[in-house]
A and B are shown apart, each in its own frame.
Chain A
């Protein structure tokens, strides 16, 4: 195996933690107010402690806000910005509760280390010596908010950016409370200074006012005094009717820097004023193989080459320029050791899947859902329908290839990179540099795409190992080929269904067995459909590649499986696929409303030109419900997706333009995979390498997308980044069937029209 635990598959699921919540407050140097919510994990000492990297049971900061002397309010957000806009939306929630106008809000990444920003800021705030000074510190949150924090703990995502959870966890349960508490403390400070009742003070646009006396001051003036106020036991949170910024399409704070070239991504990060060297790397191409030998005779002589490193699991060339490093890397002859999967091909792997499903049969495997009597109802059904579906491995293909700049010197290590798990990124670098995590400073910068790819730390580990071997700051950049062949892939899967309908076409029995371990657990379940007898199981299989979370995770497979089979059942019953779904949603009014919304937007049932077809699909994921209708044009002999109509209920759209953008994005990401992509294996190696053989949807092929939002449950927020994806593939496959009668049971779709 590889040298580092960080090159192994990550835990795909955050550990279930038990946590208790704390809110803390302190004065910053210069008299600014800082309010934050710290989430403490099971800590036997019973004290808050500075953040320690990675792993379970360690403390982390959940949310902060600070006010500067310039009356600018900074939301320090413990989630990365990878395009999903969560930093901005979370800041919007804070601003609303705090009555700060949007222009006065700034956003920054929360540090991945207690030493990171400034010791005064961080250690003063969460350090063990300071926070317990506050009276009733340990208990004050519990009666009112413990339930909320328990909820947050269950999500398990407070230390990562994933699971479409930032807004609905940190935003809803952290930033809003921090904002409301800060506002209340500012009011109390002003009331004391002005000698008036707090109830007579109003707040608006980062100003405090007292109408009777005509007094009005900026928040900044009372920031220091506010920090001396007792923490509110139960800061009052706004009702929906009181929202001013929440629910508005506030412009994102990160966008201006992304149109003028000034935004700093991982590939741009590094120490100020220090000359960088550049590293190109190539890892062993088969999982489990190692570098047996390398011949760098030619590479050594090439211009700019400084060092050639055989790191055991990968080869690195360090040079004055990245291009020089790449050229030299290409000139190295490398031999690899044998690996267990050297001889493996995709076909063999899928044969293994089939065998596992055969062995599981009608009753075997692990039970995921079992209610009613699915087998009995199937055997007595008037009409039985069977189908098997298949999906491939997929790569993430973020636009920015994996990269990390590292500098190891004097027992310390600095890294500059984008990560969805900054603490794990830090641990990966610590292991690579041979220092403790506390001695690693993680400089978090923007991610050029995440989609679940940047939930691993093998690339920070690699960069730190290279930097340790060289002594100077090194920017390691993966080639696109390396990025495509060394991913942590979305698992391939085969899913089998049998369904039973009665003589009136009512669905009585649902039987499903598939191969992947479901993450999230409900991905393959159909509880929102009114089906009396259901059996869902999975069979355990060997997966030869490293697996990771890929946008919407197991919903990406099961959305296609479930909604394709529902469509097949509808047609078998002789019913309209939209009407058939409606009859199954009698007990799921929010799902029904979303389905109706999409159908209405699309003009379901209206005529389409010859050779065109319409397909519908519904999925709920990450606590949001999304229905999509696809229109395809088959007149060219190949499917062209011309329109996508999307109706989403995410509980409440904190930023409707942001939610819309995420639906658009999830749809294109899902369609790209559905139409074009598969990662295949030959002789243990991934066969695809770059965008010529792992294709991206482009401007001319992208459908027009229309999004409609339903705020169906304002106190029960859903995610945004992922839920747009699962219905996209089945909607298109169902539309192709409607247009042609050809049922797509295997992705990608392009395979069927080659």
Chain B
């Protein structure tokens, strides 16, 4: 039995303690926003927060979450559904293409901005180096992080409906 909280909700689950957080989140909690990309912590598509720190959930056993808080992409908007600043910037900069990596990108960017509210380019490089975007939207991700940080103006104000 592992006790933890997920997106603020306390949970207790009977699961093999070696099972990676990724598969617990997806299969046991039915939250599919966190993605499987490589299985060896090389691509970052599975990034979630464990007590606020970005981790690769494909390679972190659920036992590591005992007594801790997991936050996934489903848990970063406000309770009333208002998107986080990072999510809003991802829309204003039209960041996603295929979108498969973007949950992980957003989780890494969110953690970065909590540590460094106005990150330098070098800090962005370091924080985001574990997240691959095969569609190559690195320029837009960088811009969106700066928009979310308030250091650059958004490209567009309206959002898609």
Contact = CB atoms under 8 A, between A and B. Distances in A.
A binds B: yes
B132 A691 contact: yes
Contact of A256 (B32, B40, B137, B160): B160
B103 A657 contact: no
Interface residues of B, number: 59
Given A256-B91, A399-B45, A399-B101, A691 B38 contact: yes
Given A256-B159, A399-B98, A696-B132, 5 more contacts: A254-B99, A260-B33, A260-B74, A398-B134, A699-B142
Contacts, number: 188
A83 B103 CA distance: 15
Interface in B64-93: 72-74, 77, 83, 87, 90-91
B23 A323 contact: yes
Interface residues of A, number: 66
Interface string A255-273: 1111111111101100000
Contact of A692 (B31, B36, B40, B72): B40
11 contacts: A261-B34, A263-B99, A278-B27, A398-B98, A399-B98, A448-B35, A449-B98, A664-B136, A665-B97, A668-B133, A691-B42
Contacts of B140: 661, 664
A261 B124 contact: no
Interface of B: 16, 19-20, 23, 27, 31-40, 42-43, 45, 72-74, 77, 83, 87, 90-91, 94-103, 106, 124-126, 128-129, 131-142, 156, 158-161
Contacts of B95: 255, 259
Contacts of A255: 90-91, 94-96, 99, 160
A322 B99 contact: no
Provide the main secondary structure of the chain A interface: loop
B142 to A, nearest CB: 7
A676 to B, nearest CB: 12
A191 B103 CA distance: 50
A700 B123 CA distance: 10
Contact of A449 (B73, B106, B134): B134
B32 A401 contact: no
Contact of B156 (A83, A249, A705): A249
B96 A480 contact: no
B136 A699 contact: no
A554 B62 CA distance: 45
Interface string A449-483: 11100000000000000000000000001011000
A303 B45 CA distance: 27
Contacts of B19: 321, 323-324
Contacts of A324: 16, 19
A93 interface: no
Given A252-B160, A480-B37, A702-B136, A303 B16 contact: yes
B98 A400 contact: yes
Interface in A372-403: 397-401
